Amino acid sequence: MHAWSEDEDWAEVGSRREQEVREALIRAVEETPPQLKGRDLLKADWIDTPIGAMLAVGDRHALHLVEFFDRKALPGELARLRKAARSAIAFGRSAAIDGIEAELAAYFAGRSPVFTTPLAMHGSEFTRQVWQGLRRIPAGICLSYATLAGRLERPSAFRAVARANGANPFAIVVPCHRLVGSDGALTGYGGGIWRKRWLIDHEKRWSGSPEPSA
């Protein structure tokens, strides 16, 4: 790892760090077991957004993951995805990636908060219920973890809701950023609290809601 010196510009250091993360993700994606070579593998590609690059993984039928590339947990997510999908990942394009790129462009342009690209949800039944519950929260509205647990008829399971929320591999598309603390505080977000605030502020145009509400 390159050590930073006082003579270097912080922007240069940040750019080099970004390149290092990209290279690490490329290695993680291309670790294809020999027995899977030649199969119809999952495809991965970068999607640029106003708040940072994202990595999307999909096949001909569905999107399996879309995450900000600088999320620390992303290499682990890719490893779990390979295991859950019983496949490997190679760089390339798929219909699902093309679809989500177009929908994300519309989202960031303020044209539409709706995502219709099919999702391949790898998780327990409860985890999938949480993710579907998140998708039912309208853009511009925030709920507390406890409120979502109540909506799922599991009022005491707010901690399990929080864990499922943190395990969500579909940033923005499954809007885990719309969950806040019971006091309205912006709690942890894998993409960074600054992105969570940006997304909530961006979505106010679709609801007219002045502040997040629990």
For residue 81, the surrounding DSSP H or E stretch is helix 74-85
Structure tokens belonging to residue 164: 């499922």
Contact 196, 68 (CB under 8 A): no
Q: Is 142 a catalytic residue?
A: no
Between CA 189 and CA 196 the distance in angstroms is 7
List the catalytic residue out of 119, 134, 176, 200.
176
Largest Cα–Cα distance of the chain, in whole Å? 58
Among residues 59, 70, 64, 57, which one has the least CA distance to residue 14? 70
Euclidean distance between the first and the last CA atom of the chain, given in angstroms as a whole number: 43
Determine how many CB atoms are found less than 10 A away from the CB of residue 8: 12
Which amino acids are annotated catalytic?
Answer: 176
